[in-house]
Amino acid sequence: MIEHLLPEQIEQRSFEIIDGELKKRGIVLPKEQEMITKRVIHTTADFEYTDTLTFSEGAVGIARELLKKGADIVTDTNMALSGINKRSLAGLGGEVHCYMADETVAKLARERGTTRAAVSMEIAAKIQKPVIFAVGNAPTALIQIYEMMQGSDWRPAFVIGVPVGFVNVEAAKELILQTDVPFIINRGRKGGSNVAAAIVNVLMRKIGVRTQKRAMIATMVCSVVLVTLLGTLAGANAVIAPIVIPLVAAVGITPSALAVIFQGAGQTGLF
């Protein structure tokens, strides 16, 4: 039977179905991991992830703390690059990188007889800040990360390892599971760039909400103070708007929402 739903109701209904299926199967997910596993199921319609998605101890909290402090993300496909919410990441001070289409990477891979994914990981290891590696396609990316760890003191801050396929996929994931690096790994052959992007986005979600709230509160306070000091709403907004607009845009606050904040806070300051 076709369900007639509004567009904004479809996702909510999907999660209701997922919750029902989990209950029917007698599956209770660990609280910390619940939203990530459900989001991956939502992305793939595959409940096998409840068995295969593997988290190191405290993985979700560690990843969120890294993101909160502005960690960058490196991925092995442009598809994952496109799927990751770059505005939310920028609002946290991070940036997402994918070197797969870089001509230098392609040239080095040909010369060495290796994959572009492997060379990309070498380049990414030079980034001078904490990096979360989100691998959704190439097992050679995970193998390269593991080999660099064995050959030096370098360590990635976090690894999301969900490549999909048949050749070396399972073995590459198992290598990362042997390390002391915090991880979210999907055991077995399944995964994909869409899964990698989904995991990153859900990790950022609650952080982004808190960041937006902090930005809104800071904007309101600044507006109230300036209006009180200057005695004019228009004058205060003229001072603060050029500074605030690009900052709040980075955390997803729209100009129309900002205008409402200015108006409300400004009127408060005039009383």
What residues are annotated to the active site?
42
Residues whose CB falls within 8 Å of the CB of residue 239, separated by 6 or more in sequence, listed in order: 226, 230
Q: Please give the structure tokens belonging to residue 165.
A: 């396929």
Dihedral sign (CA 194, 198, 201, 203):
negative
What per-residue string of b and e applies to 24-36 under the rule 16 or more CB within 10 Å gives b?
Answer: eeeeeeeeebebb
